[in-house]
Structure 1
Amino acid sequence: MDQQATKAVSIERGAKAATGLVSTAEHTELPKLFTNHRDPLKLSGALDKFESFDVTPVIGREFVNVDLAYLLRAPNSDELIRDLAITSMFAPRRPWTFHVPGDANITTVSRRGVAFFRKQDNLTDNLQKELVQRLGEQSGKPATSQLHIHPVNNAAREHGSKDDEISVVSSQQAKKLFSGRYASFGFGTKRQSLKDQWHSDITFEPIPSDYTLLRLTQLPKTGGDTLWASGYELYDRISPTLQHFLDTLTANYAQPQFNQTARENNFSIYSAERGAPENVGEALEAVHPVIRTNPVTGWKSVFAVGQHVERIHGLSETESRHFLDWFTNLIVENHDLQVRLKWRNVNDVAIWDNRSVYHAATPDYAFEEGLGERSGVRAVSLGEKPYFDPQSTGRREGLEKEKQGGAFCPP
């Protein structure tokens, strides 16, 4: 099947999966950011036979001996993929049963943010693309949201894939393209902070990512771990008065460094459609809320974190910078809201939800001689336009309501 035909099938599949979306009134304080309610996503139990465990109390779940390629071709593939999409945010930790008015008894689960799978030797680039796209489709993303094409890290690059929808995450390519940023990465350097590594993928796009799937294909002898942090937990650690203020704010998300990199290396930004009709042009910037509601969980997360956030609207430059730095410092100073993956094998896989999770690679292998390079392949699914739902709750409040017999999602 050619690429256009594949996309047509994908759009049709996504439209069917998105029927759970119910449009509601526009948030009056954020007139351009629409709110949507989604019918509760319920686990079918298709993944129950697979062993898994929570990596930390707050974030991260690892599946044991699961072949992702099998999930794609199993007779009940749609059920498996849909449950995986839910489980990458909803992993069983402490089950309890409660009643949702007008519905059957269901078992609630704790939302996990990122899921890990070891040694996925059967997962090809094409299967990786299919999996991450279907994760979004089965959890109800818009039919027009496909796979992202990176404005810089695409098939035109020296160390890139031949497929624009696969980004090669390469330490060699990063050092070549972003020489200024990586100037202090080298043998014998004395770098004192790596906190600027934290980010969520492609938040500079009008339609950013829901899921990312990363598979490492080359490992250094040691080092190169990746860390993730929970945006849910970050929000819950802010005082209620300040939460209410932040709920009303929007920010400018941008990545001018990519334009600078293109100029310095004599190539053009990929300006055609980058996986969604809205993601076009060379101006890599968008307006999104500071606090974002995850449409699957109905929980609030601090979204304005990391490399792609430029300025909070309505604040002075000093005030904006204070909040943005403070968000990052909360991550750095609270390691109990983080999870760390040590990549043990070629083809280890991580899948995460960019709407509520941040991540940072660890370039420690670049500081010591002879440890080798790090490389992998990444496929990024596009989701919905970020929005804030004033009826949404924080994670801890949502879990408490569920334990007390409340609704699975906000009304």
Structure 2
Amino acid sequence: MPPNVTVDELSDSLHQALDLQSLAKEKGRYLVYPDKKYAELEHFEHKDRGLRGDPKKASLYDNATKAFDVTPHIGTEIHGIQLSQLTETQKDDLALLVAERGVVFFRDQDINVDQGLEFGKSFGPLHVHATFGHPPGYPEVHVVYFDEKTPKKYFDSMSAADGWHTDVSYEEQPASTTLLKMDIVPKTGGDTLWASGYAAYDRLSPAWQQFLEGLQAKHSGQRQFDEAHANNHVVRRDHVESIHPIVRTHPVTGWKSLYVQPVFTTDIVGLSKHESQAVLNFLYNHINGGYDFQVRLKWEGKRKERVLIRSTFHNAIFDYLDVGRRHGWRVTPQGEKPYLDPASKSKKQAEQEARAAQ
């Protein structure tokens, strides 16, 4: 099966759903690492289904028992809707909502891994990770699993601020509307942070905005490749890095967004090593300190939470490794190749103009 999977090929690969929660409870880290190589990812034309969404998102809000924005700039929570039962119209509206709000939270969901794959493929070709393990027979599923036995060496050598990232940004066409399900959480800790790329751009001064627009940065997965080699795991594809604009335009909203982060961004094209690191360090500190454009989710006890993410910054907090385990799985559709439209506007500018026109 190729790494960006067609609808027919994915349908052929589906089988009776594994109970990943039970696997995690019984076996711990249950991932497999098949000795299998894939061809490089091929470019595809991506049309975000949020472009078909209803600006009022009526198909979602009219059927929800409760819906509210968690913070002014990022995060919306919706109750009373099952992701496993969404209509095509609701998926369009959801894609638009995620594009606008960055992350949408759903509680108490019944979606299983096969339904998650079917859900994810409606937003784009599903990504197969080049180095990570996966559940048996499910190469498109990315598993999150950490517990008291997880080696602490890596976490002890980094600051929590170093964990900010956007998924697989080193690919030419990184993650789009992504489904994350957490089904085992520690009794305390293990929260996740998200930050708005729109607001991160808006919070910069006009001088910084002008300086950054037109600059490009390299995003690399080399560290993950090195970890795979060190553990004698197969590297499925050779592609390891891509060049993306530091300020990108969202294809649905048309808003400008900051697009660098410490996990995968390594340097800025055209700047010296010292210049590049100085600029990136400033931007990383800007994101990390952006408490006014972040949202934090507490994964509550035994309640099953679900999260949808568009390509926005997020950071898992590893404060629980001495007290419990955390398990979940992710399905990652790929989206467009990041780009900057010089005619695009910031979210703040677009909203100001919309209010003035009323």
> What is the match of residue 388 of structure 1?
340
> What is the match of residue 309 of structure 2?
352
Q: Return the alpha-carbon distance in structure 1 between the equivalents of residues 79 and 48 of structure 2.
A: 32
CA shift, 1:16, in A, is 11
Q: CA RMSD in A?
A: 2.7
Alignment check: 8 A CA contact 1:41 1:296 kept: no
> What is the match of residue 203 of structure 1?
169
Q: Do structure 1's residue 113 and structure 2's residue 109 form an aligned pair?
A: no
CA shift, 1:263, in A, is 1.2
Aligned counterpart for 1:6 among listed residues 5, 8, 12: 8
Q: Return the alpha-carbon distance in structure 2 between the equivalents of residues 173 and 365 of structure 1.
A: 8
Check 1:259–1:19 CA distance in 2 against 1; reply closer, same or farther (3 A cut): closer
Alignment check: 8 A CA contact 1:214 1:349 kept: yes
Among the aligned pairs, what percent are the same residue? Answer: 34
Alignment check: 8 A CA contact 1:44 1:79 kept: no
Alignment check: 8 A CA contact 1:207 1:383 kept: yes
Q: TM-score, normalised by structure 2?
A: 0.82
Q: Return the alpha-carbon distance in structure 2 between the equivalents of residues 53 and 257 of structure 1.
A: 38
Q: Do structure 1's residue 299 and structure 2's residue 240 form an aligned pair?
A: no
Q: Do structure 1's residue 240 and structure 2's residue 206 form an aligned pair?
A: yes
> What is the match of residue 48 of structure 1?
61
Give the match's secondary structure for 1:213: strand
CA shift, 1:346, in A, is 4.4
Q: Deviations over 1:182-237 (max 9, x none)?
A: 3x28xxxxx7x310010000001111111221101211111100000001001001
Q: Return the alpha-carbon distance in structure 2 between the equivalents of residues 66 and 174 of structure 1.
A: 36
> What is the match of residue 151 of structure 1?
130
> What is the match of residue 312 of structure 1?
268
Q: Return the alpha-carbon distance in structure 2 between the equivalents of residues 353 and 404 of structure 1.
A: 28
> What is the match of residue 93 of structure 2?
83
Q: Matches of residues 24-173 of structure 1 in structure 2 within 5 Å?
A: 42-43=55-56, 45-49=58-62, 50=64, 51-71=66-86, 77-89=87-99, 111-120=100-109, 122-134=110-122, 136=123, 145-155=124-134, 160-172=135-147
Q: Return the alpha-carbon distance in structure 2 between the equivalents of residues 256 and 19 of structure 1.
A: 29
CA shift, 1:132, in A, is 2.6
Q: Deviations over 1:79-129 (max 9, x none)?
A: 11111111123xxxxxxxxxxxxxxxxxxxxx2110001111x20111112
Alignment check: 8 A CA contact 1:154 1:166 kept: no
Q: Do structure 1's residue 365 and structure 2's residue 320 form an aligned pair?
A: yes
Q: Return the alpha-carbon distance in structure 1 between the equivalents of residues 119 and 254 of structure 2.
A: 24
Q: Return the alpha-carbon distance in structure 2 between the equivalents of residues 17 and 166 of structure 1.
A: 21
Alignment check: 8 A CA contact 2:179 2:307 kept: yes
Alignment check: 8 A CA contact 2:249 2:339 kept: yes
> What is the match of residue 289 of structure 2?
333
Q: Deviations over 1:271-316 (max 9, x none)?
A: 1xxxxxxxxxx23101111111010110011101220101101111
CA shift, 1:239, in A, is 1.1
CA shift, 1:382, in A, is 0.2
Letter in structure 1 aligned against 2:319: D
Give the match's secondary structure for 1:325: helix
Q: Deviations over 1:56-92 (max 9, x none)?
A: 1111000012211121xxxxx1111111111123xxx
Alignment check: 8 A CA contact 2:53 2:89 kept: no
CA shift, 1:247, in A, is 0.7
Check 1:383–1:4 CA distance in 2 against 1; reply closer, same or farther (3 A cut): closer
CA shift, 1:42, in A, is 4.0
Letter in structure 2 aligned against 1:363: F
Q: Return the alpha-carbon distance in structure 2 between the equivalents of residues 40 and 19 of structure 1.
A: 10
Give the match's secondary structure for 2:61: coil
Check 1:161–1:359 CA distance in 2 against 1; reply closer, same or farther (3 A cut): farther
Q: Return the alpha-carbon distance in structure 2 between the equivalents of residues 342 and 173 of structure 1.
A: 19
Give the match's secondary structure for 1:46: helix
Letter in structure 1 aligned against 2:143: V
Alignment check: 8 A CA contact 1:215 1:349 kept: yes
> What is the match of residue 398 of structure 1?
350
CA shift, 1:391, in A, is 0.6
Q: Return the alpha-carbon distance in structure 2 between the equivalents of residues 399 and 57 of structure 1.
A: 13
Check 1:397–1:7 CA distance in 2 against 1; reply closer, same or farther (3 A cut): farther
Alignment check: 8 A CA contact 2:170 2:242 kept: yes
Alignment check: 8 A CA contact 1:43 1:86 kept: no
Q: Segments of 4+ in structure 1 off by > 6 A?
A: 38-41
Q: Matches of residues 187-202 of structure 1 in structure 2 within 5 Å?
A: 193-202=159-168
Extract unaligned runs of 5+ from structure 2.
Answer: 13-43
Check 1:267–1:309 CA distance in 2 against 1; reply closer, same or farther (3 A cut): same
